[in-house]
Chains A and B, each alone.
Chain A
Amino acid sequence: MEIFQYDFILRGMIAGIVIGIIAPAIGIFLVLKRYSLIADTLAHVSLAGVALGLFLGLNPIITALGSSIVASVAIEKMRTTKKIYGESALALFLSGSLALAVVILSLARGFNTNLFSYLFGSIVTVSSSDIYLILILAVIVITALFIFYKELLYTTFDEDSAKVSGIPVQKINIILIILASLAISLAIPVVGVLLISALIVIPVITALQFKRDFIKTIFLAELFSLMSIIVGIFVAFYLNLSTSGTIVLIMLAIFILVFSFQKHLTNR
């Protein structure tokens, strides 16, 4: 096929598929914990990291990763000590890091076009070294999810009972939020900072409409996620549209379809 004659499309496709697998696997815990907005906040923190990386001439994915991990741990500490409302802490980090990003950008002009691709993503920007980095991060995230699956599930379902039964819930919460930062940082090149939370949230809420057990719900979310990403990359390529925007719109279309169908089913 014509589309695979281009190396960058192939790279973008690989990166997209990896992100398509990771995002809902983390997303299901974030959504069920009512943490959906944290993805958006960490994405904005990553943007500040990207700006810093571009400014200092470092790999932006790595600086994004560093900044979002630091922020995620700080947010979790604020949430558990309850000194600041959870959603206020999110707003604080979201606007603060956006401000930081803008200021760094105004300090050094010249990479504005490059930055645009980090805002909205572009599979063209996925370099071959990015692919390796994405794959390594993905292996770390998936391994951690397998190792801590039981503890993540119990902590998400019923934090108090999990704690009484001897599960170290504070550590598990920190692990989850660090995994979320990893997933977000590796998704930046493909979908961009502004659309990452869509990949984490939409396939999961679509899958939840089917009301199945936990494992089936994850697989359904993976299915919708991968479907949207693969179809999205093809459609965007042939119609010359924004890849990330197309992917997210396809996800939304599937959600709306499933949601209306679900309502019809339960009304009977």
Chain B
Amino acid sequence: MDKLTNKLSGVDHTKNIIEIENVSFGYDNREDVLKNITLQIHKGDYIGFVGPNGSGKTTLIKVIIGLLKFREGSIKIFGEDMKNFKDWHKIGYVPQKMANFDKNFPVTVAEVVMMGRYSKRKFGQRLNLEDKKMTQEALEKVGMENYQERLIGSLSGGQMQRVFIARALVNEPEVIFLDEPTSGIDEKSQGSFYELLQKLNKDMGITLVMVSHDIGKLTQEVMHIVCVNRTLTCHTTPEEFIRESQSANIFGQDVKIITQHNHN
């Protein structure tokens, strides 16, 4: 399957873009939340991180993108040790927003997307025409170009999440990390949201790494499933994951997996 998509999109799936070696993470002096994580993310991958609540899947994303400092091990991004890595514009991030997002924050959709360009410009420098053009293009890619002047808080959950995707897209990133992007979004919008992600991955060749609790939907969409429960307990295809999850204990402890499409 990997080889097939290879040919279709011209993306070299053998190229490592992120290499995680024996990484452990914990808060302060408490015990490890993540232990001995080793994982490679290849160019063009579409990976879903799954695991029970508190398993560390969100933490793992935050460690990879440098929001949390790991204790041991090493992380290389595009071949560069993370400590020396400078090209952060190649990395897009869509944080878990819906839960504690301030709906009264006075910014428009266009302003939110432009924020993605801020780090490209020096202190005191204003955004230029190129930034505005990129903002337009990013909004068009997610189909939100007609909502530019709307306040971000006035949008539906699905529309808002598209705007955050556009903000990640505005720097033409090679990889986007998404943390529970569909939580709080109604089922219909979820469908078109996943279509958008497929477009980013298949047509634009963007690597996607997503955390989700919606295992049923995730297994229909992604290329690889990575099970996280303090350590990595599986790294497999969705088909294999579904098969194994019915017989074996995939998370290393008694965790029930719901594979039907559950929605709340």
Interface residue ranges, A against B (CB under 8 Å): 32, 146-148, 150-151, 153-154, 157-158, 160-167, 208, 211-214, 216-217
For chain B, residues 106 to 136, give those with C-beta under 8 angstroms from any C-beta of chain A: 106-108, 111-112, 115-116, 118-119, 121, 123-124, 127
The answer on a CB contact under 8 Å between B119 and A167 is yes
**B151 contact from A147, A158, A165, A211, Cβ within 8 A:** A211
Task: Check if A164 sits within 8 Å of B118, measured CB to CB.
Answer: no
Bound-state CA distance A77–B123 (Å) is 23
Would you give the shortest CB distance from A262 to chain B, in whole angstroms? 11
Interface contact B151-A213, CB-CB below 8 Å = yes
Instruction: Answer yes or no: B26 CB below 8 A from chain A CBs.
Output: no
A166 to B86, CA, bound (A): 8
Q: Which residues of A contact B118 (CB under 8 A)?
A: 150-151, 153-154, 162, 165, 167
Is B95 touching A165 in the complex (CB atoms < 8 A)? no
Which of the four size classes fits the interface of chain B? 20 to 34
Let me know if B242 is at the binding interface, CB within 8 A.
no
In angstroms, Cα B62 to Cα A166, docked, is 14
In the complex, are the beta carbons of A164 and B102 less than 8 A apart? no
Bound CA span A163–B66, Å: 9
Complexed CA–CA distance, A212 and B107 (Å): 7
List residues of B whose CB falls within 8 A of some A CB: 62, 65-67, 86, 88-89, 91, 93, 95, 97, 102, 104-108, 111-112, 115-116, 118-119, 121, 123-124, 127, 149, 151, 153-154, 167, 171
Residues in B neighbouring A147, C-beta threshold 8 A: 123-124
Whether A217 and B93, one on each chain, are in contact in the complex, defined by CB atoms closer than 8 angstroms, is no
CB distance from A263 to the nearest CB of B (A): 14
Candidates A154, A160, A163; contact of B115 at CB < 8 Å: A154
Residue of A nearest to B151 (CB): A211
Instruction: Name 6 interchain pairs, CB-CB below 8 A, sorted by A.
Output: A32-B105, A148-B123, A157-B107, A166-B88, A211-B151, A212-B151
Residues of A within 8 A of B115 (CB): 150, 153-154, 157-158, 161-162, 165
Flag if B67 contacts A164 (CB, 8 Å).
yes
Contact B108 A213 (CB under 8 A): yes
Instruction: Given contacts A151-B123, A157-B112, A160-B93, list 11 more A-B pairs with CB under 8 A.
Output: A160-B95, A161-B95, A162-B118, A162-B119, A164-B93, A166-B86, A208-B104, A208-B106, A212-B106, A213-B111, A216-B106
Q: Which residues of B contact A146 (CB under 8 A)?
A: 124
Residues of A within 8 A of B95 (CB): 158, 160-161
Complex contacts, A158 vs chain B, CB 8 Å:
95, 97, 115
What residues of chain A lie closer than 8 Å to B91, measured between beta carbons?
Answer: 164
**Distance in Å: Cβ of B112 to nearest Cβ of chain A:** 7
A158 to B164, CA, bound (A): 11
Q: Smallest distance from the beta carbon of A178 to chain B beta carbons, Å?
A: 15
A146 to B123, CA, bound (A): 9
A211 with B121: CB separation less than 8 A: no
Measured between C-beta atoms, what is the minimum distance from A132 to chain B in Å? Answer: 26
A163 contacts B106, C-beta separation under 8 Å:
no
Complex alpha-carbon distance, A157 and B91, angstroms: 19
- In the complex, the answer to whether A160 meets B106 with C-beta atoms within 8 Å is no
A153 to B114 CA separation, bound complex (whole angstroms): 11
Shortest C-beta distance, A83 to chain B (Å), equals 9
Q: Kindly list chain B residues whose C-beta atoms are within 8 Å of the C-beta of A148.
A: 123-124
**C-alpha spacing A157/B95, complex, angstroms:** 12
Taking a contact as CB atoms under 8 Å apart, the answer to whether A166 and B124 are in contact is no
Residue of B nearest to A217 (CB): B106
Report the bound CA distance from A153 to B93 in whole Å. Answer: 17
In the bound complex, CA of A166 to CA of B115 (Å):
12
